[in-house]
Amino acid sequence: MSGAPLVDDSERVGLLAGVAGIAALGGMAAVGAARNIARKSVVGRADPHAEVDLTALYGERAASVTADDGLELAVRIVDLGTVSQETAPELTVVFVHGFSLRLSSWHFQREQLAAEWHDRNYRLVFFDHRGHGESDPAPTETCTIAQLADDAAAVIRATVPTGPVVLVGHSMGGMTLMGLARRHPALFSSHGPVAGMGLVATASRGLTDAGLGEGLRNPVVDAFRMSVRRAPRLVQAGRGLTRSALEPVLVAASFGPTFYSPALGAAVDKMIQSTPIETIVNFLHALEIHDESTALPVIAQVPTTVVCGDRDRLTPLRNSVRMYSQLGPDSRLVVAKGAGHMVQMEEPRLVSDAIVELVDRARVALPAPRRRWWKRGRG
């Protein structure tokens, strides 16, 4: 007999149940997936993004940021105007990508904002989450929104030498920034650097309450996550089955029903396929229990912009409306008609313009009003 560890029947049952649960998730997306396939076969219709190279962003200046636990995060930096490694930017914009994606999902914003701000001394920073893209693999116990928030704090410390910073997060990236506000509120104070936040296709809580996210609230998916931890050899053996069931959920939710671009559909599919299945499954739990509602008052101290497609089935529009209603008078809501979850790729100009407008409003938190001496000490 080989020296490989034995796996008991309960673990095998857990794996099979988990795969079945994820297959059920795939069934929820069947109509959307079929629609995506149909759009790939339109005869005589030109793909407007056929020549787009989403890997180009990895050709920018590379850096590596060490997270607090020693893991290395892949970073790309774009300096505009006269900014260089030796000169500090007047303002930095940090982009945080979504679940199972990578920094190249911000390709269009990099191109459009660099053109818009070519004469501004700004810095654009993009990075891959742990377990995604070119960053180090993520140990199971670190696949949490809290850990991603601490990673974002490390990236800010390493890439923002001085001046204000505007943060923009998509999907799980937006959740990461809410976690950042909760865990590092000083960054959002009148003495901190954060001067604005963009929340794109994300939610402060309730991801399992509606849309495709309802499938996350499923005990068999929990069983699969347990299998990832306890029977990694079996999970490796079932990678193909797991992917074939899970990926249609993510791909089908990416774009609105009338959007046409086989090239971008293939690019998103490739991002998901290149993300380790263990990373995807482990972060599913982080999405399921996500609730950063208490971070919204902290974020509301700075200008904000909330963007969402009205056909987003993963983080439905009502989640964005709810966040917007809690972010105070210096918040803006931008709705992309007909767009799905990958709104920054489906309606890139709309999202880029929203970021420009946010940066124009950027300011650090206002100092707390001073209390009159005769009111001090009163409740």
- What is the predicted pLDDT for the residue at 233? 52
Query: Can you tell me the distance from the alpha carbon of 242 to that of 254, in angstroms, rounded to the nearest whole number?
Result: 19
Q: Which of the 8 DSSP states describes residue 77?
A: E
Question: Which two three-digit tokens encode residue 21?
Answer: 């649960």
Closest among 220, 224, 117, 106 to 169, alpha carbons compared: 106
Q: In what order do the strands lie in the sheet with 304-309?
A: 61-66, 72-79, 122-127, 91-96, 165-170, 194-200, 304-309, 331-336
Contact in structure between 171 and 202 (CB atoms under 8 Å): yes
In order, the DSSP letters of 94-115 are: EEE--TT--GGGGHHHHHHHHH
pTM for the complete prediction?
0.84
Per-residue model confidence as pLDDT tens for the chain (379 residues): 444 434 344 444 344 444 444 433 333 333 344 345 435 556 668 999 999 999 999 999 999 999 999 999 999 999 999 999 889 999 999 999 999 999 999 999 999 999 999 999 999 999 999 999 999 999 999 999 999 999 999 999 999 999 999 999 999 999 999 999 999 999 999 999 999 999 999 999 866 555 445 545 555 455 555 555 555 554 554 455 455 555 555 566 789 989 999 899 889 988 988 898 889 888 887 888 889 999 999 999 999 999 999 999 888 999 999 999 999 999 999 999 999 999 999 999 999 999 999 999 999 999 877 666 555 555 5
- What is the predicted pLDDT for the residue at 43? 60
- What is the predicted pLDDT for the residue at 216? 52
- What is the predicted pLDDT for the residue at 227? 55
- What is the predicted pLDDT for the residue at 48? 92
Q: Going by C-beta distance under 8 Å and a sequence separation of 6 or more, which residues neighbour residue 236? A: none
* Residue type at 159 in one-letter notation: T
Q: Which of the 8 DSSP states describes residue 166?
A: E
Q: How many residues does the chain have?
A: 379
Q: Going by C-beta distance under 8 Å and a sequence separation of 6 or more, which residues neighbour residue 314? A: 171, 201, 207, 211, 212, 213, 253, 340, 341
Contact in structure between 166 and 197 (CB atoms under 8 Å): yes
Query: Can you tell me the distance from the alpha carbon of 306 to that of 281, in angstroms, rounded to the nearest whole number?
Result: 27
Query: Can you tell me the distance from the alpha carbon of 15 to that of 18, in angstroms, rounded to the nearest whole number?
Result: 5
